[in-house]
Amino acid sequence: MVYSKNYKYPTDEELTVQEIDLSLPVLRATALFVGKACDDESKEFMLCRSETLDPRKCLAEGRAVTACGLRFMQKLKAACMKEVEAQASCLEYAGGAMIANRCRETEAPMEKCIFEATGIKKPHLGYFSMPRIHHTEREKPVNPLSTRVYQTPPGFESAPDEIKNMKVNI
């Protein structure tokens, strides 16, 4: 491994949270609603992830995303379990890509039930595919490579001024 002993690994408490243990058909069936319910958290996490190369920097945002999804799923389990399961089992047999075109009959009652239980409407077609603008209060991360301090070579103080003031692109 390339990481020396000064590399700070996140602790167990940071990495261990309750995960969303659901199968793909259920996730695909409720994807639009979960995505809409956790819109801000998702955007914050994806922005953070695209701003830095380091997975340790976005762990808190990732935990917020998972917690939000879990809360929404628990609400659905209490209120709309039957409808969601019907839609999920339909999707499971609708082909490998789980295209919702063949499951509109079961999707309509699920949509209605979710709206009554959580107040979240299904977003319009292409909502998640279009650019979504997000405002954040989080500071822009600094690239650690740009703050490196290099060793000065021995005898640099006695060098002529043209060498001292030379601009070097690194």
Partner 1 sequence: MAQAAFRQDMPPEGGYKALNFKRVPGQKYFTNRFLFTYFGAMSIISWIGYRAGFHRYRHMKLDNADRDVALTPFMLAERDRAYMKHLRRMHEEEKVVMKDVPNWKIGHHYNLPIYNTLPEDYHLDPSIEELFAHASEADIVWTWAFPMAHFNYFPRGKLL
User: At 8, which amino acid appears?
Assistant: K
Q: Determine whether 76 is exposed, middle or buried from the number of CB atoms within 10 Å of its CB (0-12, 13-18, 19+).
A: buried
Nearer to partner 1, 97 or 161 (CB): 97
Question: Do residues 81 and 39 lie in contact, with contact meaning Cβ atoms separated by under 8 Å?
Answer: no
- Quote the least distance from Cβ 135 to partner 1, whole Å: 17
Nearer to partner 1, 59 or 117 (CB): 59
Binding site for partner 1 (CB under 8 A): 1-10, 15-17, 19-20, 27-28, 31-32, 34-36, 38, 41-42, 45-46, 49-56, 58-59, 61-63, 65-66, 69, 97, 99-101, 123, 125-129, 141-146, 148, 150
Give the Cα separation of 8 and 14 in Å (integer). Answer: 12
- Quote the least distance from Cβ 156 to partner 1, whole Å: 18
Contacts of 32 (CB under 8 A, 6+ apart): 122, 123, 127, 128
Nearer to partner 1, 95 or 116 (CB): 95
- Quote the least distance from Cβ 165 to partner 1, whole Å: 23
